[in-house]
Amino acid sequence: MEEEEVLIYNLPQDTLHKIFSTLPFRQIIFCRSLSKFFNHLLTTPSFLNLISSTPPPLNLLTIHHKKSTTLRFFDLDLNDWIHFPLNFLPFSSLLPVASSDGLIYLWAEGINNSPISQTLTTTSLVSCNPLTRQFRIHPPCPPGFVLVDSVNRIMILTEFAIYYFSGDSNDSTHGWQKLSSNLPSKPRSPILIEDSAYVLCNVGSRQRSEWKLFSCCVTSAISHVTWSRLTRPECGVVFDILKRPQIVRGVGNKILIIGSLKSTFKLNPPCSTILILRLDLGTMEWEEVGRMPIEMFSYFQDAGEFKVFGGGDRVFFPAKRIGKLALWDRSDSKGDEWRWIDNIPGKGDGLYRGFVFEGRFNALP
């Protein structure tokens, strides 16, 4: 065994890079943990550049329900859980909230003894690549909904204000641009699609909700925010039949709207299932694309509140005390659109939140 190891160590770096570049990305990550030699070999700029032209290496689901120092990923291809420690970040209180283009965004509090974290007096947003352990600390900002896109634009949405940060700036001290949100109520499940943000707002009362979909344009030259309500008549009918609707970004310029299907229009009516509708922003036409099986929905009836997250043709449904996630996967080649994801890390009794993470070795914070 020692002779084999010596032979490996004596091979030229270029040769080793070519050998390891043929491995699946999951095996590359595993090999990095074998020794300091392999960790250095497989994190050099030349090796990362060699594998940067490959498709997204990892398509993972990230979940959390409380602050933690470990990222928990579910590998949709291997049907297994992967853990990534965040001990390279100089914080001991971290909350992952979003992902885009190979980066993960977390709220961090400076509560440990690190010189970096001691300089932070408030919660800050951190972007990092957990595969390369590189990170960037953004200027302090009030917490809110975090929206990011593929060009590293960051939008933080609160009930009364919007904070905008452009990744075009190389100056890490560049501050946030603060704008009035001008929304009629607290935003719900905001998303970004190209140069527009979309959000749900309740324009009714606390006793009888009336949900409407609003949109606004988001550009680097933004100076004020004007929200427009989607007023197509069909939109009102769609929101009337769904209890506590939520939206998720679909494929291309499509929005998925998801909620419990009301059995009547009475106040606090019982619901029969969870419905997934799709809005085409080009034609403004709605269509039903998914309906949760009754036997699966029975778990959510007993659990009460549930969340949704995901994107494209995949939506995940967590709820309290279920201990597993429901998955709607229209891209499933086996034709099984609805299934359970079991063995959730931890006790599995929390209301989990999450997002989809496409891991890339060449993503830079």
Question: Domain of 168: which CATH number?
Answer: 2.120.10.80
Residues 6+ apart with CB under 8 A from 347: 323
Q: Tokens 């392999």 appear where? A: 38
How far, in Å, CA of 15 to CA of 46, rounded? 12
CB 84 within 8 A of CB 133: no
Please check whether residues 149 and 241 belong to one and the same domain: yes
pLDDT of residue 171: 46
Please report whether residue 340 resides in a domain: yes
Please report whether residue 89 resides in a domain: yes
Please check whether residues 179 and 50 belong to one and the same domain: no
Please check whether residues 171 and 281 belong to one and the same domain: yes
Query: DSSP states of 290-307 as a string?
Result: EE--HHHHHHHHHH--B-
DSSP 313: T
CB 187 within 8 A of CB 171: no
Per the structure, the complete domain to which residue 48 belongs is given by: 1-54
Please check whether residues 183 and 48 belong to one and the same domain: no
Please report whether residue 364 resides in a domain: no
Please report whether residue 254 resides in a domain: yes
pLDDT of residue 363: 83
pLDDT digits (tens, 9 = 90+) for 260-277: 888 777 777 788 899 999
Please report whether residue 198 resides in a domain: yes
How far, in Å, CA of 258 to CA of 276, rounded? 5
Please report whether residue 66 resides in a domain: yes
pLDDT digits (tens, 9 = 90+) for 193-210: 888 899 999 888 777 888
Q: Look at residue 213 and give its three-state secondary structure.
A: strand
Residues 6+ apart with CB under 8 A from 115: 90
> 245 has which bridge partners?
none
How far, in Å, CA of 99 to CA of 242, rounded? 28
Please check whether residues 27 and 63 belong to one and the same domain: no
Please check whether residues 153 and 32 belong to one and the same domain: no
Q: Tokens 């470990």 appear where? A: 70
User: Token pair for residue 136?
Assistant: 């960037």
Please check whether residues 72 and 124 belong to one and the same domain: yes
Task: Print burial letters for 250-278: b (CB count within 10 Å at least 16), e (below 16).
Answer: beeebbbbbbbbbeeeeeeeebebbbbbb
Within 13 Å, how many C-alpha atoms sit on residue 45's CB side?
Answer: 1
How far, in Å, CA of 141 to CA of 336, rounded? 42
User: Token pair for residue 147?
Assistant: 């929206």
Please check whether residues 32 and 127 belong to one and the same domain: no
103 burial level (CB within 10 Å; 0-12, 13-18, 19+)? buried
Please report whether residue 365 resides in a domain: no
User: Token pair for residue 202?
Assistant: 């309740």
Q: How far is CA 101 from CA 56, 75, 91, 134, 356, in A?
A: 9, 17, 23, 14, 11
pLDDT of residue 111: 57
pLDDT of residue 173: 46
Identify the CA nearest to 307 among candidates 249, 242, 241, 245.
Answer: 245
Q: What is the mean pLDDT of each run of 10 residues along the chain (365 residues)?
A: 62 87 79 83 83 67 74 81 84 87 87 55 83 86 86 84 73 70 88 90 82 83 77 68 90 92 77 91 88 91 81 88 87 76 72 82 82
CB 241 within 8 A of CB 288: no
Which backbone phi and psi does 30 adopt, to 5 degrees? Answer: -65, -45
How far, in Å, CA of 193 to CA of 311, rounded? 11
How far, in Å, CA of 217 to CA of 195, rounded? 6
CB 314 within 8 A of CB 327: yes
pLDDT of residue 239: 78
Helix (H) or strand (E) holding 25: helix 25-32
Please check whether residues 93 and 168 belong to one and the same domain: yes
User: Per the structure, how many domains does the chain have?
Assistant: 2
Please report whether residue 157 resides in a domain: yes
User: Token pair for residue 43?
Assistant: 């994190």
pLDDT of residue 199: 93
Please check whether residues 27 and 143 belong to one and the same domain: no
Please check whether residues 36 and 183 belong to one and the same domain: no
Please check whether residues 208 and 293 belong to one and the same domain: yes
